[in-house]
Amino acid sequence: MVTGIITAAGLGTRSGLDGKFRKELLPIYDKIDNRLVLRPVIDVVYRRLREYGCEKIIIVLDPADRMSRLYVESNFENFEIVFQEEKRGFGNAVYIASQAAGSSDFVLNAGDGVISTSSYYEKICKSKSTNLNVFRVDHPEKYGNAVLDEVNKTVVEVVEKPQHPKSNFAIAALYFFKNDFVHFLDQHTIELTDSINNYIKAGNRVSYNIIDRSEWISIGRKEEYFKVLERSFINNNTEKS
């Protein structure tokens, strides 16, 4: 069994929100029964994971976030909510969720981003090794950065927003982790990249998929939200599967 983990405990201050309404609830375009609809990005993520192999979903929320909790409890099934009581980073949120995942492999997806092509999630859920999804960018210093061994098809190193990037590959916040990865997480983990690097240094294989930049739909700064809507609209009108 593969478990899905969705992290949605951040305040989303870069998105221009007030902390009461979280960016995971902002709508993007998607298709239901071949109909184009608008729905919250966390809803799109949840349904992708459920449709393509995650029998159980663990969702990390801020205990003060009543709106997201109400939406999740009203619309989702087969899920468990865990809370990040203190704002201690993405890595800490993943650690909290991993404690509820037990011994299963897990797909980790940040609640504010999704790969546009829905069927791509089937490939992710069937991964054989810990796996990252990366895309080429012009300004890698603004992203989590992945250094790749393109001969052996492995990830050599990951760095969170490096001042001097070693590659132009950014990391999408969609990962597949084998269950042994949990041994490299603890309650003091802040950046997930630190745990991934320690996992690699211990001799574990981390593979990667290169996706097109336009495939990764992520809600970031408020000035770019209209571009997110536009891209999700275009992608859903051109997607073949």
| Cross-strand pairs, 101 | none
Strand (E) positions, 166-221? Answer: 169-177, 206-210, 216-218
Q: How far is CA 133 from CA 51, 59, 172, 175, 177, in A?
A: 19, 21, 5, 7, 12
d(CA 73, CA 226) in angstroms, rounded, equals 28
Q: Which residues of 195-228 are buried (b: 16+ CB within 10 A; e: fewer)?
A: bbbebbeeebebbbbebeeebbbbbbeeeebeeb
d(CA 101, CA 182) in angstroms, rounded, equals 9
**Per-residue confidence of the chain (241 residues) as pLDDT tens digits?**
899 999 999 876 666 676 678 999 999 999 999 999 999 999 999 999 999 999 899 999 999 999 999 999 999 999 999 999 999 999 999 999 999 998 999 999 999 999 999 999 999 999 999 999 999 999 999 999 999 999 999 999 999 999 999 999 999 999 999 999 999 999 898 999 999 999 999 999 999 999 999 999 999 888 889 999 999 999 998 755 4
Structure token pair of residue 189: 């983990």
DSSP 138: S
Residue 236: CB atoms within 10 A of its CB come to 18
Length of the chain: 241
pLDDT at 241: 45
Each as own residue / partner, the long-range contacts of residues 83-86 (CB below 8 Å, 24 or more positions apart, any chain) are 83/9, 84/9, 84/60
Region at 91 (left for phi over 0; alpha for psi -120 to 50; beta for the rest): alpha
d(CA 190, CA 237) in angstroms, rounded, equals 38
At 41-77, the pLDDT tens digits run: 999 999 999 999 998 999 999 999 999 999 999 999 9
To which residue do tokens 């029964």 refer? 33
Q: Give the global pTM.
A: 0.94
What type of residue is 148?
L
Chain-centre distance for alpha carbon 151? 26
pLDDT at 204: 98
At 112-145, the pLDDT tens digits run: 999 999 999 999 999 999 999 999 999 999 999 9
**Strand pairing report for 144-149 and 113-115:** unpaired
| Domains, the chain | 2-132+172-190+199-238 (3.90.550.10)
